[in-house]
Chains A and B, each alone.
Chain A
Amino acid sequence: MIYILCFVLFAVGLYGIFCKKNLIKIILGFMIADYALNLFLILLGYKKQGIAPILSKGQNLEKFAKTAVDPLPQALVLTSIVIGLAITALFIAIAVRIYERYGTFDITKIRKLKG
């Protein structure tokens, strides 16, 4: 169920990228799709009533392995969030420069390049 919501969020992001005409809305669409993926990744490692994946002294190893959540997706998501930040920053920087040149965020009016 929760995975389906993830896919819906991803689809919302894709809709934003493909159908919106405003540069900022396209960037938001990309961010939504990116976060849907991060959510998906983090859910892959999640367990109900899971504990933090840190082994302390005197803990039963077998029980720990059964209840601890998978730490790898968390590491992946951290990396992915940082990359997403870099992309968003560059996106917005370019969008600002485009606004300076064209005076608009509307992609139908930003058409100096021809096919």
Chain B
Amino acid sequence: MFSMPFFVVLPLFGAFLITFLNSVVSNKKIRYFLNDFFAVLFTGVLFALSFFTIGKKGVYYIGGWVPPFGINFVLDGLSSLMLVVINLISFCATVFSIDYMKQYTAKRYYYALFLLMVAGMNGVVLTGDFFNLFVFIEIASISSYALVAFGTEAEELEASFKYMVMGCLATVFILFGIAILYSKFGILNMILISKELTGGVDPLTKFAFFLLVIGFFIKAAVVPFHAWLPDAHPSAPAPVSAMLSGVLIKSLGVYALVRISFSVFSFEASLPLAYLGIISMIVGVLLALGQMDIKRLLAYHSISQIGYILLGLGIGTPLGIIGGLFHLINHSIFKSLLFLNSGAIFYRTKTRNLEEMGGLHSVMPVTGTTSLAASLSISGLPPFNGFFSKLIIILACVEAQHYVFAIWAIVGSILTLASFTKVQKFAFYGENKNWRNIKEVPFFMCFAMVFLALLCLLTSLLLLPYFKEAFLLPAQKALDIGEYIGLLK
């Protein structure tokens, strides 16, 4: 279990190294090259490392201090699944930013903040200590607030402020919940608290749980708490939007929520989660239908797809949980790809308005084709990955005899298809009025998009028995409370 601390240490070191090198190296060209090189190197190494965590389990004691005195990192199936997803998307987003971020100044700060955000998210999925969880959530969120405001245009600052107020509210609630838990148990270790809680839950602990869940709902942008997301995600630079929609709301929101409610509190009446999922799913997609700003439309779809994930997890049967987790992986792949596509369009045309685009498929074939693959994935058409995960979730609904849920899930999927038909028609097909002379985007941007588009097809293979046993089933089993307590002897 030697590799665990590297997921936090490496990006932190990388963030330091990049800012440090920029103040030492005087040659401008070398400096710019080093920025890109180290950012890609660090995220690439993390991506490679994350594959070695698959199928492993264990606990790492920081500084050799055994709980309850020290902080520990816990690795199980769910954590390793999240690690692979986070580092995959961060690698692709970094490769994409090599060319894309040339539009902005101060690339070094961008990479430093980006790596800090990755460190925070990796920490959230690895930590086994409540206060440590809070600290990592703050690291990831503070850097994301700064990244949303990175362009420092009026709208971006406004969105960032709104996001910050909501995000800080969430973390204040989370800290409050953690303080109450500490007053009750006198320990902060998640596994030990989970052991204490097996006897039963008293009102004070329920209140703490309530506060924690409210905090994570805000972070995950579930519908009553979603107001910040459609402002914050479109305002960020495209690779950051891809990170925010692709993994940040999942690792800080869904993962933490699931870990706390299933593993620590052994929360069984999860149907409220499924109801919230349905509401998010329908409200998100209905709001998305009317949007003409491509990134804003994608942000509303994030709310809707988070609804699918919560629905799968909320049904609580093994099949439902597998569907939810599979959809989590798929959504982070195709949603990041869609945001990168919108970034590629913006790079060439400087517009996000769908009405001003048109006929881009003929001039930007790579962007057009990858975006078509992602749109088909998110609308749930075979053979792309989105079809299989939605199918599993709907089958799980039917199996658990929640037929109404299944019908709503299908309705949501049809509305998604309608909305993406609109995107394809306005942006890539139709008449090319204004954009006859633009070219395809540079190589690195194409590379990131093609890579993700191939993954849209290849992740369907995760359902084959061999991959399923290696990757999805351990994650599903990790949510079992006995399994979680058993990690700490």
- A residues touching B (Cβ–Cβ < 8 Å)? 10, 17, 23, 26, 30, 33-34, 37, 40-41, 44, 70, 72-73, 76, 79-80, 83, 86-87, 90-91, 94-95, 97-98, 101-102, 110-113, 115
**Cα separation A113 to B154 with both chains bound (whole Å):** 9
CB of B157 within 8 A of CB of A76, answer no
Shortest C-beta distance, B282 to chain A (Å), equals: 17
**Cα separation A76 to B435 with both chains bound (whole Å):** 56
Closest B residue to A7 using CB positions: B176
Per-residue CB contact flags for chain B residues 49-81 toward chain A (1 = under 8 Å, else 0) read 000000000000000000000000000000000
CB of B157 within 8 A of CB of A97, answer yes
- B residues touching A (Cβ–Cβ < 8 Å)? 131, 135, 138, 142, 145-146, 149, 152-155, 157-162, 164-165, 168-169, 172, 175-176, 179, 182-183, 186, 188, 230-231
**Cα separation A41 to B149 with both chains bound (whole Å):** 32
Q: Which of A23, A80, A91, A115 contacts B175 (CB 8 A)?
A: A80
Shortest C-beta distance, A42 to chain B (Å), equals: 10
Q: Which of B135, B146, B160, B183 contacts A79 (CB 8 A)?
A: B135
CB of A97 within 8 A of CB of B149, answer yes
Chain B contact residues: helix, strand, loop or mixed? helix
Closest A residue to B169 using CB positions: A17
CB of B158 within 8 A of CB of A112, answer yes
CB of B161 within 8 A of CB of A102, answer no
Query: If the complex has contacts A23-B161, A80-B175, are A87 and B155 also in contact, measured as CB distance less than 8 A?
Result: no
CB of A83 within 8 A of CB of B179, answer no
Q: Which of A34, A44, A91 contacts B179 (CB 8 A)?
A: A44
CB of A90 within 8 A of CB of B154, answer no
CB of A94 within 8 A of CB of B164, answer yes
- What residues of chain A lie closer than 8 Å to B162, measured between beta carbons? 113
CB of B179 within 8 A of CB of A112, answer no
- What residues of chain B lie closer than 8 Å to A83, measured between beta carbons? 135, 138, 142
- What residues of chain A lie closer than 8 Å to B160, measured between beta carbons? 94
CB of A91 within 8 A of CB of B131, answer no
